[in-house]
Amino acid sequence: MKQRVLYRSGSLHKLTDEDREKLNELGIKLICDLRTPKERKGKADRLHKNSNTRIVSIPIYHLGYKTDPGRLRKYWWFLTTGLKNFDYIQFMKEYYSRIAFNHPNEIRKVLALIADEKNLPALIHCSGGKDRTGWLAAVLQLLLGVSMDLVYDDYILTNKHLEFELYEPGISIILFNLFNMNLKDFQPLIELRIEYLQVTLDMVFSKYRTIETYLLEGCGISLDIINRLKKFLTADP
């Protein structure tokens, strides 16, 4: 892939002055924010005061439908749906399949924006930069001919940079004490595991054979957009 054209990250609301200066130096023209409205509330991307970067909100919801239950209600759902017996690993696998198959419009919007040269360099981010953003990054890499091993390596690299922010401190104490649960119970939600990505990619390849066909038929992306993605994001030989 061509360098310094496409970036992925987690939320940008905690950037320091130094971070914002560094981001501004990258010359980012477009940011695609995949967070939901409640995820963004009070956590707007903090950009350099001289930044001309355009931010486009393209929310991808967690539970597979157009609702935004908010942090407390969402994790209350986790806790009360089977408690310690809840299969968090299976939930994450299903979450990735929902991203891949239930959000064709959102995927199409993001890739159409990136396929426009005037929007490059661009950055894609969600809250952690790992699941929604991770799926899109993997799809783009595979479309451009990156090997599966390198895609997995890049995907799992996120684990070295994760910052745990699933709970507000007060909410965390109340819920964990109330249900006598340990943070380790939620580890499958926090970290990246290759199996999450792998299972959904296997489903895509089983149904569509190739990533390009998945984008064409599954997401309704035009061949023109795919060709422009290849043109603008592929490194010169």
C-beta atoms surrounding 73 within 10 Å: 11
Q: Which residue has the tokens 């390009």?
A: 212
pTM (2 decimals)? 0.86
- Return the bridge partners of 31, or none: 55, 123
Report the pLDDT value the prediction gives residue 74, as an integer from 0 to 100: 57
CB 23 within 8 A of CB 48: yes
Report the pLDDT value the prediction gives residue 128, as an integer from 0 to 100: 87
What is the distance between the alpha carbons of residues 234 and 146, in angstroms, rounded to a whole number? 10
Q: Which residue has the tokens 């745990």?
A: 164
Report the pLDDT value the prediction gives residue 49, as an integer from 0 to 100: 83
What is the distance between the alpha carbons of residues 122 and 114, in angstroms, rounded to a whole number? 7
pLDDT in tens, the chain (237 residues): 999 999 999 999 989 999 999 999 999 999 999 999 888 988 899 898 878 899 999 999 876 555 555 555 555 555 555 555 677 788 889 999 999 999 999 999 999 999 999 999 999 999 889 999 999 999 999 999 999 999 999 999 888 876 544 444 444 555 555 555 566 666 777 788 999 999 999 999 999 999 999 999 999 999 999 999 999 999 886
- Return the bridge partners of 30, or none: 54, 122
Report the pLDDT value the prediction gives residue 168, as an integer from 0 to 100: 45
- Rg (Cα) of the chain, in Å, rounded? 18
